[in-house]
Structure formats: C-alpha cells, structure tokens
Amino acid sequence: MRQFVEGSHAVAEIVKRCRPGVISAYPITPQTHIVEDLASMVANKELNAQFVNVESEHSAASVVLGGEATGVRSYTATSSQGLLLMAEVVFNIAGLRLPLVMTTANRAVSAPINIWNDQQDVMTVRDSGWVLLFAETNQEAVDLHVQAYKLAEDKRVMLPVMVNMDGFILTHGMEVLDMPSQEEVDKFLPPYTTKYKLDVDNPLTMGYLADPDYYLEIRYMVQDTHKQLLDIIPQVAADFKKAFKRGEGNGLVEGYKLEDADQVFVAMGSVCGSIRDVVDDLRAKGKKAGLLKVISYRPFPKDLVAGALAKAKEVAVVDKSISLGAFGPLYTDVMASVSSLGAKMPKMSGFVLGLGGRDITKKSIMDTYERLSGKQVDCEFIGLKKELLVEDKLNG
Amino acid sequence: MVETLFKPGHTACAGCGQAIAARLVIDTAGKNTMIANNTGCLEVFSTKYPESSWGVPWIHSLFENCSAVASGIEAGLKYLGKKDSINVIAQAGDGGTADIGLQAISGMFERGHDVLYVCYDNEAYMNTGIQRSGLTPTLSNTTTSPSGSASIGNPRPKKPMPEIAAAHGIPYVATASTGYPQDIQRKVKKALSIKGPKYLQIHVPCPLGWRHESNLTFDVAKLAVETGLYPLFEYENGKLIPRKIAVIKPVEEYLKVQGRFKHLMKNPEAIKEMQAIADANIAKYNLRPEV
Amino acid sequence: MIGHLTSKPGSSKANKTGSWRTELKPKFLKKNCIACKMCVLICPEGIITGEGKNTFDCDLAYCKGCGNCAVICPKKDIEMVSEIEKGEK
C-alpha cells in the first residue's frame, strides 16, 4: 500500500507487522517517534505486545534480551548516547546468540552533545557480532526490518540484526513508500520458534562462564556465522524480491553506474542518494563516475567490494564517522578488502563528511570528487570552516 | 525425597553461606521457576562451562541488569500467557544489588513486575577479592576499606536497601539470614504467593571474606541476628513485622569470631560505635522481646 | 557455526568436589539423631539426605569438609573425623 509517511512512522508500522511480543525502549532524539507510535499501537490494541517503559537504555536492551530469552520476538530502538550506554548489553546479546532486531537512528556522539545525524554511534558497536545493515531510503529501512527478523531468526544465524537509518534525514523525512501488508509480512516472516530458550519443561543454563579452554572457539563460531551470512543475506534478499517484487540488489552492496566507472564513491546510508545525483551530473559532463553503496557493514562483503573496485582508477571512501586518531571506519574496511588486489589496487582516498549533522551538499560531494585527482589522502575532512579553526587562549 | 534444583559439584568455598541460601531459595521456589542471575560468586561457581548446578531455566547476562532481564522474562511470559504458573527470580550479591544494580532494581520495582528479587548479602564484593560495597557494614575491614594507621575500616553505614525497596511501595520486603534456614524458606514461600515486586535480602556469611572458620557459617550468621547487627523483619504492604530476638547478645560475641573485625577488638570506642548501631536497629525494628 | 549455546542442567555433578577435603570428613553416628533435618538445611553442597531418625548420611563424593553439619547438630550426632581412618594409609 503506497503511503506518504514520515520515516519513523513507517518503521513503527513495519515493526508492528513483524508482530514483536516484547518492546522496550528509552526515549532519545531522534528515535522517539518510532517508540511513541508503537506505544500508541499497543494502547489501542493494534499490536499485542508487552510495552516496557524503562529507566535507561541499558535496561531497555536488557529487557528485550530477557524477552528473547523466553523465545518471544522482541524489539528496541535507540540512538547515539543510548546505544553507547547499552553497548555492554549489545555485545552480550550477540554473544548469547539471541535474534533481536534493533533500529538505530544514527546520531552524533558527545562530547560536545549534538542531536543531529552522523554514523559515529553505530561504530562503537561495530565489533559486537551484530549484523549491521544501512538503509539509504525510508523504503529500504522498511524493507530491511522485515528481512532483519528473517535473518536473525534463521537457525543457521541466531545473531541480532541492527537496521541503521540516518537520524532526522530518514527518521523525520517524508517519503512516498510502499508499506507491505500484514498478510504479506506474515507470509514472509513466520512466528519465531526456538528450542534455545528459558522453558521450565526443558531447563537450560544460558550465559555461563567460559574460561580460556572454551572462549576462543565460541568467538570463532560467531565469526564463522558472519562468513556464512555473506551467502544467507543474498538468499533472504532474493526471497524478499520474490515476495514483494522489490529490491534489485544482493542485500550486501549495490552498484550505481559502476561497471565502467573510473572514479568510484563508496558510502553507506542516505548520503548515497546525494552521491547518485552527483554521479549523474558528472556523467552528463562526460566523467565516468560511479557509486558503490555498502548495505551490509557487518558482515563486511570484502570480496564483493574488492571486485567492484578492481577496475576503478580512483576511489573516494566517504565516511560519516571517524575513528579519532586514525581513519574513517568504512575506509579501513575498504582498504583491508582492496589490499587483496595487490599492485592492481586503485588509488584509494578517505574522506570524512557530515559529522554532527553538517549538511552534505552536492558541492561538498563535488569537492570530494575534485580531490581525487590531487594528492592521495587517507582521512580528509571535507567542508571545514576555516574561521572556526581558531585556538582558545584559556591556558595562555 | 525431592531432588535439589541446585546440584552439588559447584565450586563454592567450603562453608559458603551463599551456596546454602541459594539452594534453599530455589528448592522452595520449585521447578516452575526461571532465574536471572547477576555476575558474582554464585554465578561464577555454579556455571563454569561445561558444568552447571542449576536444575531450572537460568540466565546470566551482566553485573547490574538481572532486574531488567527478569523484567523482560516476566514480560515475555505475560505475552505467552504463562506468567501465572511460573515464578521469576532475579538474584544478585550485595554489590550487584545496592551499587551497580540500583538503577535497574528501582525501575523494576517502579514498574511493578511480578518478580522476586533476592539479594545475597555477604557485605562486600567477594568474587573480585573482598572489596567494599555499599552494603559493607561500618568499620569492616575490606581490601578497599582496609584498617591502617589512618583508618579503622569502612567509615560509612550500610545502605538501607530494604528501606529503599520499601520506599518504592512494593508489597513485600524482608530480611533473612543463613542462621535461620527455615525462616528463609518461609519468607521465599510467602513472597512467591504475593503478586508484584518482592525484595528479600539474605545475610550470607563468607568464610573467606569475613575470615572465620568454614564450620562457623551457621553460628556467625545467627550471632549477627542475635546481636541486632543484622535485624530480621518484614514489611508487608508497608507494615513492619519484626522477628524479635529471644536473647540479645553483645556485639563483641559476633565481632570477635571474624578476622574482618579483628582490628576493633582492642578499640573500646569502636566497639561502642558498633553496639550503638545494634541498639539503634533493635529500637527501630522493635526487636526486643515483649516482657 | 552455532555451538556451546548452553550447559546442561545439573551437569556440575560430574565435578566430584569431595577431592577438596584435606583433613576432616563428617561421620554420622546414627545414635542420637532426632531427624530435625538442620544438617540437611545447612549443608552448602546440599548432599545430606535421610528420612527418619538415625537415617541421615552425606555423599562423600561431594563433601568439602566444611564442618557446619557437625556444629549445627543439636544432639552432637555428627562428628568430624580424620580423613585417614585408623589403620588406613
């Protein structure tokens, strides 16, 4: 059913249709509309779920951990500081192999405090073992949530999945999109069943102490599942396309005018939409530009990325986050992937844009493009305002 | 005879008070019980992979979130329509309850979840090596509140965790002691018959941390109660029900058998201070037997 | 790969903590016992069983020798005796 709807409301609607039984969240901008909608749906009996208002994100994540542990499909959403506060629980959920789905409305992290969009928050749990998917549009956000539960609850996977959507840009952006019906979602996503749960008829111990004799293999198993996910994610994407007649890609990466591109942008999330426009403008001027959009950041599709960039001359990796003291996180993953190309590696450059909600305009993307012909850079901030780069005289 | 739900073969120290109490709790609660356990001695000595002592569904997540995990389990069971026939217990040590776990337990109380919270109070962070917690008694010697030339041990009073629980308006709060094992059973049974959040704080001696012989677990726990230093009482819907002390003993009898109070024995002022705490408890909780 | 998700209930019984004992073990005299069951309640390992007077005993495979049972018995019917019985090495 086609709707003109705000991103958050669309996410709440699709989550409702996934039929979670336990929902728990703590308010944080810009996730609030999602959980407010879900609370309203429960209050009006549109959704049969236990809605637990908690006293912090750490408890929100712990509540849904408990819900999943009883074998009940659960849901939570957060951003920025909330994700950082629950980080310990996020790692715990993946380690416990619980198939939770969470929405992160990506937002900058303190200090200084900033409520606007960038992707620094999710990077703090990059190593947690979660599947990390990035939506470019609200339609993609809707579609990814349905696929997320299917992926997470797959008996070969049993790992939590996070759908990332840029805060405000997507959450508060209005878009015409196609909302899957309840019947369609029910057909695609059967009820969650598992033997791995707390059950008085079959008692189990979950969350034991693993000493050095056991821990390494248990960690390896999560890494191994991520390798398998590189096949399972495309399977689920294909199943989704068959059921909903939508979604061209393999669920891992997507190319735009990539096949003969000399210069390629690599990016994640909503910025890809702006980059597509710039690629079109460049193509109109005879420049062979292209875009490699990364949808699955974890597992990182290193072979697909290397293959997609193999024939390019220059590559601009666009990060909306930064590992302070080193490089943009996406840049490091892309570099590790293309290192397999050896001497045939294109000229790789890393750029940081849009931190703290700084507008990424077509001009700033063009600036990035222009830099590609110059000196190779590995972590160049685009759009710095020179007049603000002045030092304090506080300590003399 | 019904088999215990907390099987032997766990690696608790010989004479561990927490092992005694944990077994009494789960055996009283029965097999239709799910447990969310915080990090601590109990979790570590009962679930070292691949062995587990637990005969009921049991989950350990982190150090401070058993209340929140239990809330989620309760919500899940409610969604499944099974909550009425299954007990949910959240359990932790004193540090995991009154310090790092305080936020989560307060949230659970405030939301009114049908969960029994059990705090095994051995009065310090024992699992990590006897460090001071918010429930460490005054003047107690711990590794982070040691006695020395400039200190006579922990300078602060015990955080009044039962009062904090009661202040949330929950229907049942109680303290219990390893020195009164049938009382623990009675209170667990009573708590589980009440709907809503319940808080039970059990005094559990730690031979290693308190520095007493392993065969004095029961005696030391009993002395704590008989001196008034560990008052036993219940708050049922806010109404105080004390367990009166038959014969009140002076605090020295309790202090002198434990190495963690050894530094006080030659210090009459300190003993007076401890006696004052005991006397205040006896007055506040009405523990003196009727004449 | 998915494995080592849980540990089996009661699997701790494989760990025979009776090997921890160094000096003393409990001896149930079965002479004066009144079946008060205080020893059953207080044992940290939960390994004392019995039903009726003078029937109580403990599973030495798990007994750590803490000695609480001997202290608590109101009839002094439990004694802590040497691990090495007279005549044994």
pLDDT digits (tens, 9 = 90+) for A206-233: 999 999 999 999 999 999 999 999 999 9
CA-closest candidate to residue A166, choices A115, A227, A240, A112: A115
Å from B176 to nearest chain C CA?
14
pLDDT tens sequence across B155-169: 999 999 999 999 999
- Tally of domains in chain A: 2
The ipTM, to two decimals, is 0.96
Under 8 Å between Cβ of A87 and A33: no
| CA–CA gap between residue B160 and residue A355 (Å, rounded) | 46
> Nearest-CA residue of chain A relative to C9?
A204
Judged by CB atoms closer than 8 Å, whether chains meet at C5 and A97 is answered as: yes
Is A23 in a helix, a strand, or coil? strand
> Nearest-CA residue of chain C relative to A227?
C1
B1 has pLDDT over 60: no
Q: Which of A244, A261, A291 is the last residue of a domain?
A: A244
Q: Tell whether A194 is covered by a domain.
A: yes
Specify which residues C77 forms β-bridges with: none
| CA–CA gap between residue B99 and residue A347 (Å, rounded) | 54
- Same domain for A319 and A199, yes or no, is no
- Same domain for A194 and A263, yes or no, is no
Which helix (H) or strand (E) segment is A309 a member of? helix A302-309
One-letter identity of residue B94: D
- Same domain for A77 and A218, yes or no, is yes
Collect all residues of chain C within an 8 Å Cβ-Cβ radius of residue B46: 12
Instruction: Map chain B to HEC letters.
Output: CCCCCECCCCCCCCCCHHHHHHHHHHHHHCCCEEEEECCCHHHHHHCECCCCCECCCEEECCCCCHHHHHHHHHHHHHHCCCHHHCEEEEEEEHHHHHHCCHHHHHHHHHHCCCCEEEEEECCCECCCCCECCCCCCCCCCECCECEECCEECCCCCCCCHHHHHHHCCCCEEEEEECCCHHHHHHHHHHHHCCCCCEEEEEECCCHHHHCCCHHHHHHHHHHHHHHCCCCCEEEECCEEEECCCCCCCCHHHHHCCCHHHHHHCCCHHHHHHHHHHHHHHHHHCCCCCCC
Packing angle of the helix pair A215-244, A87-95 (nearest 10 deg)? 90
User: In chain C, which among 27-46 make CB contacts under 8 A with chain B?
Assistant: 38, 41-46
Partner chains of A (3+ C-beta pairs under 8 Å) = B, C
Interchain CB contact of B62 with A (< 8 Å):
yes
Residues 6+ apart with CB under 8 A from A374: none
Q: Which site among A97, A151, A202, A228 would you substitute to test the C interface, given the most C Cβ atoms closer than 10 Å to its Cβ?
A: A97
Q: Tell whether A264 is covered by a domain.
A: yes
The domain spanning residue A159 has which CATH number?
Answer: 3.40.50.970
| CA–CA gap between residue B35 and residue A210 (Å, rounded) | 19
Å from C3 to nearest chain A CA?
7
A88 has pLDDT over 70: yes
Interchain CB contact of A201 with B (< 8 Å):
no
Q: Which residues of A198-234 are buried (b: 16+ CB within 10 A; e: fewer)?
A: bbbeebbbbbbbbeeeeeeebeebbeebbeebbebbb
pLDDT over 90 percentage in chain B: 98
Q: DSSP character for C32? A: S
Interchain CB contact of B284 with A (< 8 Å):
no
Mean pLDDT of chain A: 97
CA-closest candidate to residue A182, choices A10, A9, A7, A16: A16
Q: What's the average model confidence in pLDDT over B220-226?
A: 98
Q: Tell whether A117 is covered by a domain.
A: yes
Q: DSSP character for A387? A: G
- Same domain for A341 and A297, yes or no, is yes
A40 has pLDDT over 80: yes
Collect all residues of chain A within an 8 Å Cβ-Cβ radius of residue B34: 70, 198, 200
How many inter-chain contacts (B to C, CB under 8 Å) are there?
107
Residue among B52, B70, B80 minimizing CB distance to A205:
B52
Residue among C2, C7, C9 minimizing CB distance to A225:
C2
| CA–CA gap between residue A303 and residue A290 (Å, rounded) | 18
pLDDT of amino acid B130 = 96
Interchain CB contact of C5 with B (< 8 Å):
no
Interchain CB contact of C76 with B (< 8 Å):
no
Q: How far does chain C reach from its first CA to its final CA, in angstroms? A: 51
Q: What's the average model confidence in pLDDT over A261-284?
A: 98
One-letter identity of residue A210: A
pLDDT of amino acid C86 = 55
Please say whether the structural domain B17-284 has been given the CATH code 3.40.50.970. Answer: yes
Collect all residues of chain A within an 8 Å Cβ-Cβ radius of residue B102: none
Residues of B at the C interface (Cβ-Cβ below 8 Å)?
1, 4, 6-12, 14-17, 19-20, 23-24, 27, 46-47, 49-56, 178, 181-182, 207, 213-219
Under 8 Å between Cβ of A372 and A316: yes
> Nearest-CA residue of chain A relative to B51?
A208
C85 has pLDDT over 70: no
Q: What's the average model confidence in pLDDT over A319-342?
A: 97
| CA–CA gap between residue A316 and residue A234 (Å, rounded) | 26
CA-closest candidate to residue A165, choices A99, A77, A241, A87: A77
pLDDT of amino acid A29 = 96
Tokens 């429930």 belong to which residue? B135
User: pTM higher than 0.90, yes or no?
Assistant: yes
pLDDT tens sequence across A41-53: 999 999 999 999 9
Q: What's the average model confidence in pLDDT over B211-231?
A: 97
Domain locations along chain C: 33-83
Question: What's the Cα-to-Cα distance from B85 to each of B32, B79, B132, B195, B199, rounded to whole Å?
Answer: 7, 13, 39, 12, 20
Q: Tell whether A81 is covered by a domain.
A: yes
One-letter identity of residue B120: Y
| Between A396 and C25, the higher pLDDT residue | C25
Å from B267 to nearest chain C CA?
30
| CA–CA gap between residue C65 and residue C62 (Å, rounded) | 9
- Same domain for A123 and A262, yes or no, is no
Domain locations along chain B: 17-284
Specify which residues A344 forms β-bridges with: none
Å from A394 to nearest chain B CA?
37
Q: What's the average model confidence in pLDDT over B169-192?
A: 98
Pairing relationship of beta strands C78-82 and A314-319 according to DSSP bridges: unpaired
- Same domain for A178 and A121, yes or no, is yes
Query: What is the CATH number assigned to the segment(s) C33-83?
Result: 3.30.70.20
Interchain CB contact of C6 with A (< 8 Å):
yes
Collect all residues of chain C within an 8 Å Cβ-Cβ radius of residue A221: 1-4
- The torsion angles phi and psi of A275, rounded to 5 degrees, stand at -65, -35
Interchain CB contact of A90 with B (< 8 Å):
no
Q: Which domain holds residue A176?
A: 2-244
pLDDT tens sequence across C12-34: 999 999 999 988 999 999 999 99
Structure tokens, A5: 């709807």
Q: Which of A190, A211, A244 is the last residue of a domain?
A: A244
Q: Tell whether A393 is covered by a domain.
A: no
Interchain CB contact of C89 with A (< 8 Å):
no
Collect all residues of chain B within an 8 Å Cβ-Cβ radius of residue C17: 8-11
pLDDT of amino acid C89 = 45
Q: What's the average model confidence in pLDDT over A319-348?
A: 97
pLDDT of amino acid C83 = 85
Partner chains of C (3+ C-beta pairs under 8 Å) = A, B
Å from B41 to nearest chain A CA?
11
Specify which residues B118 forms β-bridges with: B91, B200
Under 8 Å between Cβ of A22 and B79: yes
- Same domain for A73 and A188, yes or no, is yes
Collect all residues of chain B within an 8 Å Cβ-Cβ radius of residue C43: 20
- Same domain for A153 and A227, yes or no, is yes
pLDDT band at residue A104 under the 50/70/90 scheme: very high
A395 has pLDDT over 50: yes
Is A257 in a helix, a strand, or coil? coil
- Same domain for A260 and A182, yes or no, is no
A248 has pLDDT over 90: no
| CA–CA gap between residue A358 and residue A356 (Å, rounded) | 6
In this structure, the number of other CB atoms found within 10 A of the CB of residue A62 comes to: 33
| Between B3 and A59, the higher pLDDT residue | A59
Is A104 in a helix, a strand, or coil? strand
Q: Tell whether A396 is covered by a domain.
A: no
| CA–CA gap between residue A65 and residue A69 (Å, rounded) | 6
Collect all residues of chain A within an 8 Å Cβ-Cβ radius of residue C9: 203-205
Judged by CB atoms closer than 8 Å, whether chains meet at C3 and A218 is answered as: yes
Q: Which site among B3, B73, B91 would you substitute to test the A interface, given the most A Cβ atoms closer than 10 Å to its Cβ?
A: B73
Judged by CB atoms closer than 8 Å, whether chains meet at B72 and A52 is answered as: yes
Collect all residues of chain C within an 8 Å Cβ-Cβ radius of residue A155: 2
CA-closest candidate to residue B287, choices B204, B236, B229: B229
pLDDT tens sequence across A125-179: 999 999 999 999 999 999 999 999 999 999 999 999 999 999 999 999 999 999 9
pLDDT of amino acid B140 = 95
Residue among C1, C4, C9 minimizing CB distance to A203:
C9
Judged by CB atoms closer than 8 Å, whether chains meet at C1 and A196 is answered as: no
Q: What's the average model confidence in pLDDT over B110-138?
A: 97
Å from B179 to nearest chain A CA?
29
